[in-house]
Amino acid sequence: MNLSASPWRSLVALALTWAAGFVDALGYLLLNGIYAGNMSGNTVLIGVHAVDGDWRSASLHAATVGAFLVGLTLGGIAIRLLMNRGLRRVLAVAMALELACLATLLFEGGALLPGEGRPSGAGREIYLLIAAAAAAMGIQNTSLRMADVLTVYTTHVTGAVTRFSEDAIDFILGNRKETDAAGERPRRKAHFRGALFSFGLWAAFLLGATAAAYATARLGAGALAIPMAVILLVGIADAAAPLARTDPE
C-alpha cells in the first residue's frame, strides 16, 4: 500500500473512520451499550452476559455480530459483482447501501433519547435498530478493501494501533529486509508515513466518538445525520472520480 501515491484515498479512509467512531459511540449510548463496529467487544459481552444469566443482553450482542457479518457479506458480494462487470464506482454503491441502513436507524430510532445511564430500546424494535447500525458498519468495513482502494479497516482501530507500532519501530530502528529502489538504505520515509497514517486513523476514530458523545446528548438519534452527511460526501466524490483501482499499485 503506497500511501504517498494516494493522498485522496487516505483522506477518504480517515473520513470514514471518523464516521465509524461516531456511529459506534452513538450505538453505545442509545442501543443498550452495543458496539456497532467492534465485534471483539460484542463477543466478549456475549460471554459475560451469558454467565450472568442475562440472556436478553447476550442476545442483543449476538444479534450485533450477526448483523455485522450480514453487512460484510452483502457489501462484499455487491462490490465484487459490480467490479466483475467493469463498474469502478463501487464505493459509491457501498456508501448508498450504508446510508440506507443508517437511514433506518435514524428514522426508526427517533424515539431513543439520551437520559441517565444507557438508554435502551423497547421490545423487538431494538433488534431492528441494532441490526441496521451493525449492518451499516459491516458494509463500510469491507468496502475500501474489496474495492481495492486501501487495505485498511475503518470501523475499528486495533489494527491501526498495531500498524502504528510496527511502522514506528521500523522507522526508528530500521529493517534490513526493506531497502529503497536502489537497494541501499531502509525505507524509513515509507514507515514514517505509514505510522503517521495509522495514528491518524486512531485519532479520527477518537474524534468521531467524541463528537458523537457531544451531539447525541443534545440531539439523540438525530445526531446520526452528521456522519451520514460525511458518508454521502464520500459516495458523491467516488461517483465523480472513482477511487477503485483498475490496476494494482
pLDDT per position as a tens digit, 39-83: 998 999 999 999 999 998 899 999 999 999 999 999 889 888 988
Residue 125 confidence (pLDDT)? 81
Confidence (pTM): 0.86
CA torsion sign for 163, 160, 143, 77 is positive
Cα distances from 239 to residues 84, 89, 247, 248, in angstroms, run 18, 6, 19, 20
Residue 111 confidence (pLDDT)? 60
Residue 180 confidence (pLDDT)? 53
pLDDT exceeds 60 at position 16: yes
Which of 1-10, 134-143, 207-216 has the weakest average pLDDT?
1-10
**How far is 179 from 50, CA to CA, in rounded Å?**
51
Burial class of residue 195 (count of CB atoms within 10 Å of its CB; 0-12, 13-18, 19+): buried
**How far is 104 from 114, CA to CA, in rounded Å?**
19
Residue 120 confidence (pLDDT)? 46
- Give how far the C-alpha of residue 217 lies from the chain's centroid of Cα atoms, to the nearest Å: 22
Instruction: Output the CA torsion 162→44→217→159 (10° steps).
Output: 10
Burial class of residue 16 (count of CB atoms within 10 Å of its CB; 0-12, 13-18, 19+): buried
pLDDT exceeds 50 at position 98: yes
